[in-house]
Structure 1
């Protein structure tokens, strides 16, 4: 009998993660934060959070925050909540912990008032500092001695108690010693500039001292959009100055952004020059008065590319680096509401200030068109002012629709430019829908103006509007037209003759979308292998063909029609076809290129032979 002895199971050993502080600082500086400049934000943020906690604990406490830069060092002093010796060990020396997290420190009630959300805090200062010294005294246990925490970028730190005179009052002072290569970030001018940029709207008075005895305010409250002004004009001037200072331009107009429910307040500045719809605007977002980012591209809807916004919020979430807004459902709702504020401003202009609206649309009609695609009500409101390129010139759609009950449009700018002079001369209403958003708005037009018909321009519609040639004249041209149709039939092009203006245009190439698709299919078939040639050949349908319309009013056409040589007539027709293709800016297929070359050389051949014959005849006459 065999016995089996089971080995006793060894209990698992519990260990803690070991953190390489230098590696973590490298991670922060190269991957989390966009620039070392954020260390000033972290210093200000910790100080503001500390005094916020102090005010929650002692509402009558005197609040003070002083930032200074002198002798190559940066320091910040606050009269905040302070820390005890145990708290220093627990909070400052443990990565990921924060004095704002637990209820054991009596701070949970003020949680929503804090700026910091991720507990990184002073660790970010190692991006520019080789040594951080903190002297702190707790306001909750004032009888405890002040504590010094001295940390180095190699991960080591010391904690010691100091005599009472080292810090008589509660609060905290932090000193930073620069690391090699980072001294520029601790220069007084740079520190003051960063402090103003990040902290101008913070809720407590903050001063900066540069070591020469003078103290200058960092904060500038209330925000310019919340200040009292002597008149609306004075307010506009103040906002324009604020915009010029922040963004470097004088705004065309300003739009108040006020969402009390969402805790968002600010202003949008309308750009004075047009910008591309593809350009992502960099908006400026503050979180509880601290600058979060000046490149928030997800704050407003994409269609609002014609404004730059500045907002302060206490509800939106920051990303882990606290350098942008976290794109969640709350931000989506705020974005829609801010878009509604911009839309409301447009509506007010349309209803009460057409002059300002016209000035705005002269610059930013693309932005309004983008918005109007998804808002029929706004589209109807803007209809009298939105400009469109038409065969009657640059006019609004409402005026154009009143003149032409049936509106035609072209999908390309080139097609419109070819047909516009002829359409204008013959009363055909054509809109150029080759520009951004115009085709979408034309499709929406019948829903906001019932009774208006919008159709894409086709060859038949244009041909029907042109004047027919008298029957006798057309019968006399039978042989000429037969030759022309025979020559162009291999190119899937019909031939018609009409009388139209301007006289200077000898021929007009017309097609529609189906004809272009058929043309593309033929091109693909010519370049395909045998299998695809058969497949594409089977797809040929009964699509309308392109049409070359010859102008009977043009003297050249009459002379070509009177040529006695059918071969020369055919060569001339091919030349007219090629020239009309080029005028319409249609892509040339290999067969078209061959035709153009053949026609050009044929005409040269005829011209030189004709010239030689004339010369010989004149010599004989001599």
Structure 2
């Protein structure tokens, strides 16, 4: 029986270009569309006849790709109407790529599993598509052949009854020039396993030569599906299950996990597992999770499935509730996904709590690698912080230890906001019993701010110059009076730097001077610098802001022999130059940014000392 040619009610070439360049990330999705149509056809057939045979067979021989199913099938009228509907729907949104994509999404939601967009998507690799189908709804109807080419034309004709004796559909793709790599047997089988391993019906792949409609026997027929998912299988022991999950992770993601976390949310229609990475990863890293939608792989790059703080896991899930994007290659970020994301995050948090309560060794192994992720979570969760206090490591003036251990020795906890400040002050603080934590690392300052909520008896304050100075040993009054002229010279010389000078005795002896400031001192220094460069109006405003804010301090170590020798110098000018050198050295050791005035002082002091070293007599004569 013959049929007149028809034309798609859509610009097919334009539609294929839209699919290739705006909707789909790769031609590989054509295999997914073929599988999806077959699965939905089977589902529809089961709804009509629950006892019907289930069969989906995929093959790739001689350059052709063939898929055959025992699904619901189509009549000639249905083939015509579905394609006509696609033509109209693709025009509803307007002419822009975004509007056309919205039109395609609407069409897909209405006709998912029938020829619709899924069949047209095959034109990204095919120059011709041949469909032979027979309807299960109308057993008396003749088989139908639908034959379409990439020039935008198609024909529909009835075939003799013997052309297809059973209900179902066979689709045959002829590849377009340049697309042959996507239709080889190895590529088609790999894509079928990737997309369809969790589909609810058995799918086989046949790479034997022929038309792909053999009897199903022989070495060329292999199963594509692998159900149930490994996380839903029964195992004799927890250890056996853990080993099986580790093997699944290695096969899927390419690494052996530290641990696995079940992500079973029956109410949300989500089932799966999260694998803990064995190596540290950046908090800024966006993990690519695998998401299956009703068994079909949706994406292996979902970065919005879990909370950002859970960057230490890679997840694979199957869901029947989350909404896909128009391309069916990612998840639509709506309220449902937000709720699922929170619930999955809670599941990861529960896993941490369970480890802390019953398996501390596994928790310690995890934290050695991923303490940053837990800190990121705990800074917003006081209960979790309290739970993790014995485990989370911090750098302290007493060494690396947990907050629990540190709090046992110090009821008043000081912290520095920069790593450089901590490293300068830590040895001195340790020698004088001052408890200091380095909060210069990611999340540590946030956790310390939350610590009093968990442990109200603890006092947590930012380290300031006064607190350090008070802990250092005072110099006997007689010794300080004897050094009064030296201290006066030093204070006068450093006054332009907004820096006070104090004398203390502290350990280690090798440190001659210590530069201390705090946030208020830095703010006052910045205000002074702005005042010097401001016009008259702003000078008045900035001047009125001056209060009694503390200033930076240069603490001279009376235990250090160099300090005592400088204090005994008979020449006031040389003493002043030496003080400037001490200030510059202490400033450099603190690793703080240098102001222009500081750089000038350093240069002057360095050159001055060189002059004294090379021409002491001339320098002294010049001073006279």
Output the TM-score relative to the length of structure 2. Answer: 0.91
The C-alpha deviation readout for 1:269-306, integer Å capped at 9, x for no partner, is: 00111111111111110000000001111111111111
How far is 1:459 from its partner? 0.2
Equivalent residue for 1:28, pick from 12, 19, 29 = 19
Q: Secondary structure at the match of 2:68?
A: strand
Structure 2 counterpart of 1:254: 260
Structure 1 145/300 Cα, relative in aligned 2: closer, same or farther at 3 Å? Answer: same
Indicate yes or no: 2:35 matched with 1:44: yes
Please list, as runs of the form range in 1=range in 2, the aligned pairs for 1:201-600 lying within 5 A after superposition.
201-212=198-209, 214-526=220-532, 532=538, 535-600=541-606
Q: 1:121 aligns with which of 110, 118, 123?
A: 118
List gaps (5 residues or longer) in structure 1. Answer: 1-15, 99-110, 615-622
Partner of 2:151: 154
Q: What is the Cα deviation at residue 610 of structure 1?
A: 3.0
CA distance in 2, matches of 1:504, 1:583: 13
Cα distance in 1 for partners of 2:396, 2:550 equals 26
For residue 166 of structure 2, the aligned residue among 144, 169, 175 is: 169
Residue 74 of structure 1 is matched in structure 2 by: 65
Cα drift, residue 123 of structure 1: 1.1
Please say if residues 49 and 114 of structure 1, whose CA atoms lie closer than 8 Å, have aligned partners that are also in contact. Answer: no
Provide the secondary structure at the position in 1 that maps to 2:85. coil
SS at match of 2:556: strand
Structure 2 equivalent of residue 132 of structure 1? 129
Runs (4+) of structure 1 moved beyond 6 Å? 111-115, 611-614
1:179 aligns with 2:176: yes
Give SS of 2:200's match: coil
Over residues 182-227 of structure 1, what are the superposed CA-to-partner deviations in whole Å (9 max), with x where a residue is unaligned?
1100011011000000000000000001124611110000001011
Task: Give, in angstroms, the shift of residue 537 of structure 1.
Answer: 4.2
Q: Cα gap change, 1:192/1:524 in structure 2, threshold over 3 Å: closer, same or farther? A: farther
Q: Counterparts of 1:148 and 1:180 in 2: how far apart (Å)?
A: 24
User: Structure 1 CA distance, aligned partners of 2:109 and 2:64?
Assistant: 32
Look up the SS of the partner of 1:120 in the other structure. Answer: helix
- Tell me, in whole angstroms, the C-alpha distance in 2 between the residues paired with 1:113 and 1:316: 17
Change beyond 3 A, Cα 1:392–1:97: farther
| 2-structure distance, mates of 1:119, 1:368 | 47
Is the alpha carbon distance of 1:215 and 1:178 closer, same or farther for their aligned partners in structure 2, counting shifts above 3 Å? same
- In the TM superposition, what is the alpha-carbon distance from 1:234 to its structure 2 partner? 1.1
Q: Is the 8 A contact 1:115 1:287 kept in 2?
A: no
Partner of 2:103: none
Matched, 1:142 2:133: no
Q: Distance in 2 between matches of 1:112 and 1:63?
A: 24
- Separation (CA, whole Å) in 1 of partners of 2:45 and 2:547: 81
CA distance in 2, matches of 1:87, 1:117: 10
Structure 1 residues 63 and 94: CA distance shift in structure 2, 3 A: same
Contact 1:96–1:118 (8 Å) recurs in 2: no
Q: Give distance in 2, aligned partners of 1:97 and 1:403.
A: 75
The answer to whether 1:197 aligns with 2:203 is no
Deviates more, 1:539-548 or 1:353-362: 539-548
Secondary structure of the structure 2 residue equivalent to 1:95: helix
Number of equivalenced pairs: 587
Residue 56 of structure 1 is matched in structure 2 by 47
- For 1:561 and 1:367, the matched residues in 2 are separated by 52
Helix, strand or coil at the partner of 2:155: strand
2:280 touches 2:370 (CA, 8 Å); kept in 1? yes
* 1:65 paired to 2:56: yes
Name 2:105's counterpart in structure 1. none
Structure 2 residue ranges without an equivalent (≥5): 1-6, 90-107, 210-217
CA separation in 1, counterparts of 2:237 and 2:384?
Answer: 30
Contact 2:379 2:446 in 1 (8 A): yes
* 422 and 169 in structure 1: CA distance in 2 versus 1, 3 angstrom threshold: same
Q: Is the 8 A contact 2:41 2:114 kept in 1?
A: no
Residue equivalent to 2:85: 94
CA distance in 1, matches of 2:20, 2:285: 28
Aligned CA-pair RMSD: 2.1
SS at match of 1:251: coil
Normalised by the size of structure 1, how large is the TM-score?
0.91
| Matched residue SS, 2:86 | coil
